[in-house]
Amino acid sequence: MTPQLSIPTISLDKALGMDNVRFVDVRSPKEFEEYHLPGAINIPLFDDEERAEVGTLYKQRGRDAAMNRGLEIYSAKLPWFHQQFQSVSKESPDAPLVVYCWRGGMRSGSVVLTMALMELPVIRLEGGIRSYRYQVVQELEAASRERKPFIVLEGNTGTGKTEILLALKQEGYPVIDLEGLARHRGSIFGRIGLSPASQKEFEAGLAAELNRYQTSPYYIIEGESRQLGRVLLPEFIVRGKKQGTRIRVEMPVAHRI
């Protein structure tokens, strides 16, 4: 009989409900950069080149060849991995380390199993970050069905729309800073000095903002186009902008300059 090893797991809802949890993303740096759980740190099992190599082996020679190569890479990194996890654990001694990969499969399972054997407080996230992506999509769909009215601030570049929105947000008004979420400065200045958000990262941030203002009877946004940098606005935001109450900001050209 093959012995069964028990890997401690936790659901996304339970993990997000914990006060002192630390999320550890063991996907490659490129995957992590695209989007990740809020507050997560990246301790990658494979770097981008290694992930590509293992993926190619899987396609060309099958699962066993990919697993063997993955094991070689991970085995060589075990001391480094232990040091990284130990360091994070020491920073937050009372916080469990919730580890995830894409589907909550082999990468996170391997890390959790070996780190648990070294007596570190590690737990695998059920479903990986795919469960988080699914939750974000569900939350956006729910928000689209609410059909709350929008107040839309519009005006030419330099009229201070963003400053007004941020001031209103500080006062507690339900402002959704679309440019901030997209990390984009609008039609004139674009992404100058910024690292633009991916579509998934933008949607995760948007879902969090919508949840934040769940009890609000309306939303306040800036009058953006359908595409903002690298991201596309959800249809219900575009519809809300078209149907919303518009407030236009005017300012002399000299002051705008």
Tokens at residue 59, please?
Answer: 């396609």
DSSP letters spanning 7-19:
--EE-HHHHHT-S
Three-state DSSP class for 214?
coil
Which pLDDT score is estimated for 242? 93
What are the tens digits of pLDDT across the range 54-111? Answer: 999 999 999 999 999 999 999 999 999 999 999 999 998 888 999 999 987 889 999 9
C-beta of residue 116 within 8 angstroms of C-beta of residue 92: no
Tell me which DSSP letter residue 157 carries.
T
Q: Please state, in angstroms and rounded to a whole number, the distance separating the CA atoms of residues 238 and 235.
A: 5
Residue 1 has pLDDT above 50, yes or no: no
Helix (H) or strand (E) holding 107: helix 106-117
DSSP letters spanning 75-96:
HHHHHHHHHHHHHHHHHSTTS-
Q: Please state, in angstroms and rounded to a whole number, the distance separating the CA atoms of residues 205 and 155.
A: 25
C-beta of residue 136 within 8 angstroms of C-beta of residue 51: no
Task: Report, as residue numbers or ranges, the catalytic residues.
Answer: 101
Q: Please state, in angstroms and rounded to a whole number, the distance separating the CA atoms of residues 241 and 103.
A: 36
Tokens at residue 234, please?
Answer: 């959800």
**Mean pLDDT across 201-224:** 94
Which pLDDT score is estimated for 2? 46
